[in-house]
């Protein structure tokens, strides 16, 4: 597949992008209809709010037309963050644009709220692939935010009855979670592995000094 992703500018959305709010809501609605499931319905005012709070990422074409979008939602204070509402306009799909937007919003979220668990729920194989590449793991809904406001957002999904019937334990979406603690644990384990490779007797400067002094003495003795 030839990648044309570099022609798009991906950035934090600003006031000038508020004009795209209506178009975005129509895109969400059409895409949900097409897929027979989908993104919870969004109101243009909600999208405008996300843009004004600097919680939205936008991709535009070289002539500043809307190409893709995604926004950040925080739950349970700032314990959980969802990178939600990922969408790429149909004519720009399959060129790696969603990948670029997802990576941008993921890095931006980690910088903005470093200790938050980042999660999403999705039926989309493309999104599952993108999330896995970023280090998300599939989890049961019990691992996600229990904030009622998040799950209320599913009300406009055609499968909402399944979610309520199972007391929010599962639905057709797969839950995926990135835990920053796990990432820190992994990088710490990586450091420990490197440490193990250094012979224990050479690990501390003190041990190194003793070795040098001892070998210096030995060479003097040899000279005599
Ligand atoms: C899902 C969506 C955002 C993908 O956008 P895109 O720009 O075409 O995605 P990319 O080109 O960046 O592809 C990302 C990965 O998903 C894969 N992919 C893309 N579309 C796919 C599809 N329909 N089925 C399976 N895999 C798909 C790509 O092959 C790529 O995987 P790879 O890195 O292993 O090659 C886009 O199809 C869309 O807007 N759909 C409607 C809205 C939607 O479903 N949003 C997600 C709601 S959770």
How many domains is the chain built from? 1
- How far apart (Å, rounded) are the C-alpha atoms in residues 1 and 96? 9
CA proximity to 139, closest of 183, 182, 170, 185? 170
| CATH code of the domain containing 96 | 3.40.630.30
**Range(s) of the domain holding residue 84:** 5-178
In angstroms, the Cα distances linking 129 to 117, 123, 158, 168 are 18, 11, 23, 24
Comparison of pLDDT for 115 and 218, the residue scoring more? 115
Does 222 reside within a domain?
Answer: no
Report the distance separating Cα 92 and Cα 67, nearest Å. Answer: 7
> What's the CA gap between 3 and 65, in Å, rounded?
19
Q: Is the pLDDT of residue 76 over 70?
A: yes
Q: Residue 33: pLDDT above 80?
A: yes
User: 54 CA to middle of ligand 1, Å?
Assistant: 24
Has residue 39 got a pLDDT over 80? no
The pLDDT tens digits for 136-147 are 999 999 999 999
The answer to whether position 24 is within a domain reads: yes
36 Cα to the center of ligand 1, angstroms: 16
Q: Residue 126 in contact with residue 176, Cβ under 8 Å?
A: no
Tell me the best of 104, 106, 126, 154 to mutate to test the pocket of ligand 1, counting ligand atoms within 8 Å of each CB and taking the most: 126
Q: How far is the CA of 211 from the centre of ligand 1 (A)?
A: 59
Residue 70 has pLDDT above 90, yes or no: yes
22: pLDDT strictly greater than 90:
yes
Report the chain's mean pLDDT, rounded to a whole number. Answer: 88
Residue 207 lies in a domain: no
Q: Is residue 79 part of a domain?
A: yes
Residue with tokens 């979670």: 177
- State in Å: Cα 6 to ligand 1 middle: 17
Residue 136 lies in a domain: yes
Choose the residue to mutate in 98, 99, 159, 171 for probing ligand 1, maximizing ligand atoms within 8 Å of C-beta: 98
When mean pLDDT is compared across 82-91, 123-132, 185-194, the lowest value belongs to 185-194
- Is 105 part of any domain? yes
Write the residue with the smallest CA distance to atom 3 of ligand 1: 87
**Is 62 part of any domain?**
yes
Ligand 1: nearest atom to the Cα of 123: 48
**pLDDT classification of 211: cutoffs 50, 70, 90:** low
- Protein residue closest via CA to atom 32 of ligand 1: 129
Whether 218 maps to a domain, the answer reads no
């Amino acid at each position: 597949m030839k990648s044309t992703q570099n022609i798009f500018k991906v950035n934090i959305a600003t006031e000038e992008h508020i004009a795209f709010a209506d178009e975005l809501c129509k895109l969400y609605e059409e895409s949900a209809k097409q897929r027979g499931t989908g993104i919870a319905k969004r109101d243009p005012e909600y999208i405008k709010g996300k843009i004004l709070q600097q919680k939205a990422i936008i991709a535009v074409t070289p002539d500043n037309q809307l190409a893709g979008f995604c926004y950040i939602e925080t739950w349970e204070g700032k314990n959980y963050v969802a990178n939600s509402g990922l969408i790429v306009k149909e004519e720009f799909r399959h060129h790696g644009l969603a990948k670029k937007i997802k990576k941008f919003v993921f890095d931006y979220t980690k910088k903005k709220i470093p200790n938050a668990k980042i999660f999403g729920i999705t039926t989309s194989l493309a999104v599952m692939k993108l999330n896995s590449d970023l280090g998300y793991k599939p989890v049961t809904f019990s691992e996600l935010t229990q904030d009622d406001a998040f799950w209320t957002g599913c009300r406009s999904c055609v499968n909402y009855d399944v979610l309520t019937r199972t007391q929010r334990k599962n639905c057709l979406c797969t839950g995926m979670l990135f835990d920053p603690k796990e990432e820190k644990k992994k990088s710490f384990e990586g450091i420990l592995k490197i440490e193990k490779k250094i012979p224990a007797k050479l690990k501390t400067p003190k041990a190194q000094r003793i070795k040098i002094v001892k070998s210096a003495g030995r060479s003097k003795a040899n000279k005599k």
